[in-house]
Amino acid sequence: MQVTVQRISSVVMELEVAVPADTVKAELEKAYTELAKKAQIKGFRQGKAPRNILQRMFAPQVQRDVVNQLVNDTLPKALEEKAVTPINQPQVEPLKFEVNAAFQYKARFEVQPDVEKVDFEGFELSRSTKVADEKAVEEQLAGLQQRLVELKVPDPARGAVTGDVLTIDFTVEVEGKLRKDAEGKGVQVELGSSSLLPEVDAALVGKKVGEQVTADITFPGQHPQKEIRNKLGQLNVTLLEIKEKVLPALDDALAKKVANFETLVELRADIHTKLEKAIKEQGEIALAEQIVSRLNERNPIEVPQSLVAQQANMMLQEIGQQATRARAQFTEDQVKNIQENVRKDAERKVRAGLLMAAIAKLNGFKVTDEDIEKGFVELAEETGKNVAKLKVEYRDPNRRNILIGMILEDKILDFIESKSIITDAPADAPADEAVAAESTTEK
């Protein structure tokens, strides 16, 4: 078996393999013997058909099989001999096949590029200096209050005001005719929340329980029912009940209700730490994103297309799932656009991944048991499971490798960070925005 290697580019390789005539012949022989036992040909009992007849009838098929067989047998050996590892399925192209001659074929595949030098020092990165301030905490608390709002009948009784939740009966008239399909009894609406037509909202303000209101309305141009669009009509409303929204007081009771804290102070502290953590994480992600784009700019190495396709597929799948969950519909152009962007993004990510792997190799980074131990502790904090349980979960070598990969990536990112010039971005211009703008303009 003769193997010649040709390097077409830094990521594409071509092997030319020649299989000696003897092997070809033996393989053919084997194929025909096998076939003779099984072939059913009219005029012959099974297994009795002579060789020349088999050859006449099955030659192309047998040759195809033999070629496949030979490639399957020799390609792994050839790869091993030349010590190359393809990262995609090799494209095999038989050159010629003759019965009494050596068989040659070409196999083309992609390999990991050899990255000899990676330029990763002295990146200028900007770090967000955003912190969790009182305002953000207040916002969160206000959100909590809104969620825990209570409905109460106002005492003493008063007219409806914007923001109240009303219970109403209503009938609709279109151009003087009562419409049976547009009645409502005991419907709850929030005044001023645009769940009603604005004319009705206006007419209801200040009215008391039991009062009847008639509002002249014009149906909007985009009304779901075509025949009443832009027509004049009347809405007769009977006001049954008025309830006002009462925000719960910001006190210890609220804290208890929300998360079983004893005091409001504790709740505030908890929100603060959570915010702090979220912001810090965001900052880290933004920084990593910057590193990725800097790596890409400085090291325009060639990337194996198969890896890019893999990454892009994964990302597209994720997007697809999100889209179905959100019930989003895309036009064809949008889909194309998304695919294009995802592809570019995937290429960036793959390139950065390769570069990081190269950095790790060049600098002799390794994940020690100690690191894994630390990783488990961190993971335990994040997920709230205990360390021993996690260790059992990660006994599976595949998952373990993923974990090791993550730890290694963190290490490399830290390393690059330590070699970079980091400036603090002002708090009101968050760093991640700058990165987002950059990644869209790039290339």
Partner 1 sequence: MTPEQIIKRPIVLTEKATRLRDSSQFVFEVAREADKIAIRGAIEHLFNVKVTSVNTSIVRGKHRRMGRGHAKLNNWKKAVVTLKQGDNIDFFAENAEA
Q: How far is the CB of 56 from partner 1 (least distance, A)?
A: 6
Helix (H/G/I), strand (E/B), else coil: 342:
helix
* 380 touches partner 1 by CB under 8 A: no
Is it true that the peptide bond before 154 is cis, omega within 30 degrees of 0? no
* Radius of gyration over every alpha carbon of the chain, rounded to an integer in angstroms: 36
Provide, rounded to whole angstroms, the least separation between the CB of residue 45 and partner 1: 7
* Residue number, 43 or 186, with CB nearest to partner 1: 43
Q: Which of 22, 38, 52, 300 binds partner 1 (CB under 8 A)?
A: 52
Q: Is 59 in the site for partner 1 (CB under 8 A)?
A: yes
Three-class secondary structure assignment of 195-232: CCCHHHHHHHCCCCCCCEEEEEEECCCCCCCHHHCCCE
- In angstroms, the CA 102 to CA 70 distance is 11
Rank residues 57 and 413 by Cβ distance to partner 1 and give the closer one.
57
d(CA 159, CA 223): 30
User: Which of these segments, 48-56, 252-260, 263-271, 421-429, binds partner 1 (CB under 8 A)?
Assistant: 48-56
What's the distance, CA 244 to chain centroid? 42
Stretch that binds partner 1, among 37-45, 119-127, 257-265, 301-309 (CB under 8 A): 37-45
What are the C-alpha distances in Å from 390 to residues 84, 357, 393, 405, 410? 36, 26, 5, 17, 19
Output 44 or 330, the one with its CB closest to partner 1.
Answer: 44
Task: Identify which range of 38-46, 166-174, 352-360, 408-416 contacts partner 1 by CB under 8 A.
Answer: 38-46
Q: Under a CB-based contact definition with an 8 Å cutoff, are residues 344 and 439 in contact?
A: no
Query: How many CA atoms lie less than 13 Å away from 317 in the CB half-sphere?
Result: 6
Footprint of partner 1 on residues 66-105 (CB under 8 A)? Answer: 99-100
List 22, 40, 45, 85, residue binding partner 1 (CB under 8 A): 45
Q: Which is nearer to partner 1, 60 or 176 (CB)?
A: 60
Of 30, 48, 229, 257, which lies in the binding site for partner 1, with binding defined by CB under 8 A?
48
- 26 binds partner 1, rule: CB under 8 A: no
Q: How far is the CB of 355 from partner 1 (least distance, A)?
A: 54
Nearer to partner 1, 22 or 134 (CB): 22
* Count of residues touching partner 1 (by CB under 8 A): 14
CA distance 435 to 441: 10
The SS3 of residue 137 is helix
What phi and psi values does residue 335 have, to the nearest 5 degrees?
-60, -45
Residue 223 sits in the site that holds partner 1 (CB under 8 A): no
CB closer to partner 1, 21 vs 413: 21
Q: Among 18, 36, 41, 187, which residue sits at the site for partner 1 (rule: CB under 8 A)?
A: 41
The one among 18, 21, 36, 53 contacting partner 1 by CB under 8 A: 53
CA–CA distance, 17 with 8 (Å, rounded to integer): 16
Contacting range for partner 1; rule: CB under 8 A; set: 3-11, 39-47, 253-261, 348-356: 39-47
CB of 114 to partner 1, least distance (A): 45
56 contributes a contact to partner 1 by CB under 8 A: yes
* Residue of 307, 308, 295 lying closest to 117 (CA atoms): 295
Q: Where are the alpha helices (DSSP H) in 104-189?
A: 134-147
Site for partner 1 in 128-157 (CB under 8 A): none
CA dist 166 and 153 (Å) reads 10
Contact 411, 371 (CB under 8 A): yes
Which residues are at the interface with partner 1 (CB under 8 A)? Answer: 41-45, 48, 50, 52-53, 55-56, 59, 99-100
